[in-house]
């Protein structure tokens, strides 16, 4: 029997949920648990601003760089200025299953996941990737997932298949 795979990447969806709930352990929280912590209080992504959930996903120049590149692949208007407006705009479409809402959710979830992963790696592994490298990870991860989905051949469906360079086999 043919099964349509789940439309969200589970760990990404979970991560997005965590962010919306503001439960991620950014440095401000870590340091409040351990006052002797030697962690820097500056955001490890931009090294400019104090670290916090707010900053990481809504203000950080690194995150903005990633988001500015990715938003057109999410089918979002390029005039959507920052991530927070995107998260807010996802709430009304959260339960829709159109190709547009599915892809938008997938891209936003992947962006939040990989930005958060980069934050973690820089802080704990002392590894650094550029924004472009993070974007490449997001693109290949989402594209791989899209290849396993089935879409209706609607105007949006065709538009996204071109945008993501998907073969005709993704259409039902």
Residues that bind Zn ion (CB under 5 A): 43, 45-46, 60
Q: How far is the CB of 59 from Zn ion (least distance, A)?
A: 7
Closest CB to Zn ion among residues 62, 73: 62
Q: How far is the CB of 153 from Zn ion (least distance, A)?
A: 41
Q: How far is the CB of 46 from Zn ion (least distance, A)?
A: 3
User: 3-state SS string over the chain?
Assistant: CCCCCCCCCHHHHHHHHHHHCCCCCCHHHHHHHCCCCCCCCECCCCCCCECCHHHHHHHCHHHHHHHHHHHHHHCCCCCCCCHHHHHHHHCCCCCCCCHHHHHHHHHHHHHHHHHHHHHHHHHHHCCCCCHHHHHHHHHHHHHHHHHCCCECCCHHHHHHHHHCCCCHHHEC
Q: How far is the CB of 48 from Zn ion (least distance, A)?
A: 6
């Amino acid at each position: 029997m043919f099964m349509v795979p789940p439309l969200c990447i589970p760990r990404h969806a979970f991560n997005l949920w965590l962010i919306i709930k503001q439960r991620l352990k950014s440095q401000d929280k870590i340091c409040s648990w351990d006052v002797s912590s030697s962690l820097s209080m500056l955001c490890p992504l931009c090294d400019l601003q104090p670290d916090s959930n707010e900053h990481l996903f809504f203000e950080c120049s690194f995150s903005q760089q990633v988001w500015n590149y990715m938003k057109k692949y999410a089918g979002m208007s390029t005039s959507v200025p920052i991530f927070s407006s995107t998260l807010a705009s996802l709430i009304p479409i959260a339960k829709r299953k159109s190709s547009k809402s599915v892809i938008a959710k997938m891209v936003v979830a992947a962006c939040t996941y990989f930005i958060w992963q980069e934050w973690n790696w820089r802080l704990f592994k002392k590894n650094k990737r550029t924004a472009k490298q993070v974007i490449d990870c997001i693109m290949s991860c989402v594209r791989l997932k899209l290849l396993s989905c089935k879409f209706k051949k609607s105007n949006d469906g065709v538009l996204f298949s071109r945008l993501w360079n998907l073969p005709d086999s993704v259409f039902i």
